[in-house]
Structure 1
Amino acid sequence: MTQFDWRPHFTDVLQYLESENRNAWHEQLTSQLIHRFEQQPHGDVARWQAALEQLPDVPQARVDLNRSAITVASPAALSASGLEALESGLRGLMPWRKGPFTFFDTRIDTEWRSDWKWDRVAPHLSDLSGRTILDVGCGSGYHCWRMAGAGAKRVIGIDPGLLFMFQFLAVKGYVMHAPVDLLPVRMEDLPENLELFDTTFSMGVLYHRRSPLDHLLELKGTLRRGGELVLETLVVDGPEGYSLMPEDRYGQMRNVWFLPSCPTLLRWLDRAGFTDARVVDVSVTTTEEQRQTDWMRFNSLSDFLDPHDPTKTIEGYPGPKRATIIARKP
């Protein structure tokens, strides 16, 4: 197996940064990609590359970005050998956590019904047509594709998980020049105060940050003046000023730091300099929305809840409830 050639997959986004005169970010990103793929490559990259290369080449494939399942289809049915290679390649990229996706009638039933979250958020968004969007902690890029389907001019997702990147490339291989890219970097790997994006999404990230206010300030720095922040995070019931900090784990997750009440979260946004912040949705996460499937065979939400009281986590904390807040950078 030859070394993974990362350059063709990032040509579009690097050219985009050049066109926007973001030369410093272009140089920084290039160095980061060289480090990740050439200097300290992940041990599973060769396996994921081999899985990706099994996916059949279908020149007339088309991708529908406006269905609940991102759908790759072809005017002609795949051959038996093509379907076998497809199944093998997609299963080589397991576990699939964010989705769902359909590849030529092979449905990937992901752990998360990410389409449910999109359906809750989308009605409250500004028109995404022509907007430049950043999706922080984008996973496999499911929501990035939905943003493009809603008319976004350019979508850049960031997530350090390399498996997520290969799952994203499984879709992008059939729409090579879509204005959607996934960068395998962390929020802290971005240049400060980019002020590049019209809309920044941070969904399912804030509670993983040791300093939530610093995360809000980082998000603010990515936005142009007047830009929109879409923030989704775990919350708990309580008055302004109340926030739960788990003693150790929350729902078996070690890296959960702060679960604020909605009034506290609005105060945080105000202190970070956002305006017009409003809570647009509060939803309890159920075992229908997050669960084990044939494409994600590890433990999932039902294993993380109290078996005698599913309204609580296995540690005894309030069960997962998520709020979506939309705010503006003045």
Structure 2
Amino acid sequence: MFDWKQRFQPLFTDLESNDQLQWADHIWDQLYRQFETRPHGDLERWNDALSELPVLHEVETDFNAPAVTLTTPKPLTEGQHRELETGLRGLMPWRKGPFSFFGIEIDTEWRSDLKWDRISPYISDLTGRRVLDVGCGSGYHLWRMAGAGASDVIGVDPGLLFLMQFFSVKDFVDAPHIHMIPARLEDLPPKLEYFDTTFSMGVLYHRRSPLDHLLELRDTLRDGGELVLETLVVDGPEGYSLMPEDRYGMMRNVWFLPSCDTLMRWLDRTGFRNARVVDVTVTTAEEQRSTDWMRFQSLEDFLDPNDPTKTIEGYPGPKRATIIADKG
């Protein structure tokens, strides 16, 4: 049985020590409803997979390598290796990474390290900062943020499989100030104003109201805090935004793909200042593809086979921009 109270106790302790009792109570109520009144049908299967992972001691970590890396001074026994792989494969598909668990390399669908390499030179030094990652997936970037010196890191994402993948790392390491909450941004209390840096990467285009998403992100930041926003964009003048008729790259929940100039205007209208585009990159199969750890369709299946610069629906192919802005 998934013991959510024990799992999230370090988070509650952290919040209470930072005078966030109201938020801690809010999260407790959310988690109670999620795990006690309407638990996900696959929750116990995923928890069983997590329970397969061997108990290991003297674990060493490298959160600054391309793969979030866990090692031990002594090699695993054959039995430990078998338990480890069985548990990790029970948590498939792995979409965001990569990870290296004691010699088992998890080649995830997304090379999230490439995104981190693109954005990390431009963000403020994370040393000692309190950081939020919205739509954090498996938590890969949470560990990279910790490796960059962040003192407190919280990720939010409603995916419970992602949560289990996050715990597959956390169960091996001493990381009392790195947390993930199975929730959406809109589930956070309004006017939180708690974080020094908030990341929203790959979320904006999934929101029916992108301006509301930007306002909610602004509410998470203290005065002068920094937003790191990464999203799909299209070419076009200020004011232009693509709204797909139905699907975009076979995804149903894509609503608005703005031009960079339009996105800058949105940020200005929602109270951000000093916004600057620090990167624009076309997504390729080097960064997103099917692997042995994610065996479903991926980017190459979503593009026009006769013109890979377009999606299978005929829209411009995926291009992602990163914008950094300050809370005004």
The two structures have a TM-score, normalised by structure 1, of 0.99
Q: 1:21 matched to which residue of 2?
A: 19
Among 206, 209, 221, the residue aligned to 1:208:
206
> Aligned equivalents of 2:164 and 2:61: distance in 1?
17
CA contact (8 A) 2:10 2:176 kept: no
Deviation at 1:178, TM superposition (A): 3.8
Matched, 1:184 2:175: no
Q: What letter is aligned with 2:150?
A: A
Among 315, 318, 322, the residue aligned to 1:317:
315
Q: 1:164 matched to which residue of 2?
A: 162
> Aligned equivalents of 1:210 and 1:33: distance in 2?
25
Q: What letter is aligned with 1:291?
A: R
> Aligned equivalents of 2:82 and 2:53: distance in 1?
9
Matched, 1:133 2:131: yes
Q: 1:289 matched to which residue of 2?
A: 287
Matches within 5 A, 1:110-129: 110-129=108-127
Note the alpha carbon deviations across 1:80-131, whole angstroms, 9 max, x for none: 0110111100000000000000001100000000000000000001100000
CA contact (8 A) 1:63 1:174 kept: no
CA contact (8 A) 1:71 1:103 kept: yes
Q: Aligned residues: percent identity?
A: 67
CA contact (8 A) 2:205 2:254 kept: yes
> Aligned equivalents of 1:93 and 1:81: distance in 2?
19
Q: 2:255 matched to which residue of 1?
A: 257
> Aligned equivalents of 2:24 and 2:244: distance in 1?
39
CA contact (8 A) 2:14 2:177 kept: no
The two structures have a TM-score, normalised by structure 2, of 0.99
Deviation at 1:161, TM superposition (A): 0.1
Provide the secondary structure at the position in 1 that maps to 2:121. helix
Q: 1:10 matched to which residue of 2?
A: 8
> Aligned equivalents of 1:63 and 1:47: distance in 2?
27
> Aligned equivalents of 1:262 and 1:59: distance in 2?
48
Provide the secondary structure at the position in 2 that maps to 1:249. coil
Which moved further from structure 2: 315-324 or 176-185? 176-185
Number of residues of Structure 1 aligned to a counterpart in Structure 2: 328
Q: What letter is aligned with 2:20?
A: R
> Aligned equivalents of 2:130 and 2:152: distance in 1?
5
Which structure 2 residue ranges, 5 or more long, are not aligned? none
Note the alpha carbon deviations across 1:112-152, whole angstroms, 9 max, x for none: 00000000000001100000000000000000100000000
Q: What letter is aligned with 1:105?
A: G
> Aligned equivalents of 1:291 and 1:77: distance in 2?
31
Deviation at 1:197, TM superposition (A): 0.1
Q: 1:50 matched to which residue of 2?
A: 48
Q: 2:106 matched to which residue of 1?
A: 108
CA contact (8 A) 1:62 1:174 kept: no
